[in-house]
Amino acid sequence: MSKLKEYLEKEKIDTRKLLAASKRIEKMTAQDRKIRLARKKVATGKPTDAEKETAQMKRRSGKKVTAPTLKKALAGEPLSKGAKKRLARAVNAVSKGEVQVADLF
């Protein structure tokens, strides 16, 4: 049994809630698209100062936790760093406490 599965059972968190929370958290917004465009302009041409500032901001990945990824995590199979971080963010959104990646994997 994986640490994630034990934690979800202890906190009584449904896996469907995790998937929904991840979708909500990781969804690309208009601000994220502006950041991506600003990064392209900085890399290719002569950006303005505002574009340089915007390009330095952090954007969301746009990748949610999928059902197969969650299934792998619950089974204790190896996951990528990004998948672990997305799962931890989803758990933190659903649960009351602040959970670190190391606590779940």
Q: What would the pLDDT profile of 48-61 be if each residue is shown by its tens digit?
A: 888 888 888 888 87
Task: Copy the structure tokens of residue 37.
Answer: 């465009």
Q: Locate 54 and state its tokens.
A: 């915007």
Q: d(Cα 3, Cα 7) in Å, to the nearest integer?
A: 6
pTM, full prediction: 0.78
**Dmax (CA) of the chain:** 53
Domain boundaries, the chain: 1-27+63-105, 28-61
pLDDT in tens, 54-91: 888 888 878 999 999 999 999 999 999 999 999 999 99
- Locate 57 and state its tokens: 């901001």
